[in-house]
Chains A and B, each alone.
Chain A
């Protein structure tokens, strides 16, 4: 038997392996997971009894639909690939081309790994979350038209509001192709010129496997990179998933998404009426306030003038009294003066008598001012300063003037 060289032998073994096995699918648990130089992955695939060495490159680490997955020790997987013996080491190595995750536990781990990675990158940061418009009139809807989520969402939306334009982009929401569909949907909305104001990404409840598309890095990055704010409602209320954590707003169900998106028009109508009432009350109370102020000022003015008028009246009355009193005084004084004048007049003759003149009176006492008033033998009185005599006339003589 001609001996093979080692190289020849290994080559023959590899040919045999390729011929007999080609592409095989092997399920096992991952252990000794090791990435070197950010390019090469080494791990061991094992079951309870056996283990085998595995080797692949980092970019090969994907699922059958092309999406990237993250793996770690303990995960149960189905790996599809070829098997060979390495020349240098003679080591039997399995080379997976793609990997499928097996079991809920694995899926959950996958999800947690993606979550951790994206959280560290800051994709979940609250600060970057954008506010939704209060009254959107143009929205984008990303979901499956067969999904209950689609009709649930639209039903609630229609009940709450009208005149909204809805751009609906149909995608698969589970299984192969879902991830690509959803990513394309976000690319479309980023690209289109007449952009909606909000995007709604939604699907109903399901198993973790059903929901897996929404736990992938690809979908998460598509949501994060959306130029339009995104509201996400995936699965049931208690389900957390990566897409929801990245989105701007998280809703618990498709119906809840419609509620968060737009107010109820009845409530808004009520509020409009109450605002109108507030305005009216404001105007009325302002008017009343001015009205009352005006009245107060008027009555104050009125009282002021009344007061002044009364004062004036009083003043006038006083003046009148004074005037009357003054007139009386004048009258009295005049009278008094008259009296005094009379007295003076009656006293004046005595000055004359002092000088030796006399006053002649007839027997009736009347003063005589002319001899014509007298006759011879008439009896007369003659008043001197210090008394009077009585005499009889015996002759008259007229004075030549």
Chain B
């Protein structure tokens, strides 16, 4: 099952590719309007994600790790 949301990285790279394609004159007039819309949607989505706040720090519980580590030793 596909991820419900593309990662930031893949969406960003897709956008960069679009810009490159435009600059190389790849699209005809009809297609370019469609692709432009696509590009705008990506920009809006990414800007939204950028405006989110907060990184999540989770500490690894040692004792869980310790047990397994001893087994491996």
Contacts and interface: CB of A to CB of B under 8 A. Distances in A.
Given A168-B60, A187-B69, A134 B55 contact: no
A265 B50 contact: yes
Contacts of A135: 7-9, 12
Contact of A184 (B27, B33, B69): B69
A317 interface: no
A191 to B, nearest CB: 7
Interface stretch (A227-235, A283-291, A305-313, A391-399): A283-291
B55 A188 contact: no
Interface stretch (A53-61, A238-246, A273-281, A324-332): A273-281
Interface string A158-193: 100111111111100000000000001001100100
Interface in A111-169: 133-135, 137, 141, 145, 154, 157-158, 161-169
A269 interface: yes
A268 B9 contact: no
Interface residues of B, number: 39
A282 interface: yes
Contacts of A283: 22, 32-33, 36
Interface in B36-65: 36, 39-40, 43, 46-47, 49-50, 52-60, 62, 65
A346 to B, nearest CB: 87
A9 B14 CA distance: 85
Interface in B20-38: 22-23, 27, 29, 32-33, 35-36
A272 B9 contact: no
B60 A188 contact: yes
A320 B17 CA distance: 68
Contact of B60 (A154, A162, A169): A169
Interface of A: 133-135, 137, 141, 145, 154, 157-158, 161-170, 184, 187-188, 191, 265, 268-269, 272-273, 275-276, 278-280, 282-283, 286-287, 290
B1 interface: no
A397 to B, nearest CB: 114
A396 B10 CA distance: 140
A245 B54 CA distance: 32
Contacts of B62: 170
Contact of A187 (B7, B12, B52, B72): B72
Nearest to A276: B43
A279 B55 contact: no
B20 to A, nearest CB: 10
B69 A188 contact: yes
Nearest to A171: B62
Given A137-B7, A169-B60, A187-B72, A163 B39 contact: no
Nearest to A275: B19
Given A135-B8, A279-B19, A164 B39 contact: no
Contacts of A269: 47, 50
Contacts of B36: 279-280, 282-283
A164 B12 CA distance: 16
A201 to B, nearest CB: 14
B60 A167 contact: yes
Contacts of A141: 57
A163 B60 contact: no
B32 A282 contact: yes
14 contacts: A137-B7, A157-B55, A163-B55, A164-B55, A165-B58, A168-B58, A168-B59, A169-B59, A169-B60, A169-B65, A272-B43, A275-B15, A275-B43, A278-B22
Contacts of B7: 135, 137
Given A162-B52, A163-B49, A184-B65, A276 B72 contact: no
Contacts of A268: 12, 46, 50
A144 to B, nearest CB: 12
Contacts of A134: 9, 12-13
Contacts of A280: 36
Nearest to B68: A191
B28 to A, nearest CB: 9
Contacts of B55: 154, 157-158, 161-166
B13 to A, nearest CB: 8
A137 B9 CA distance: 9
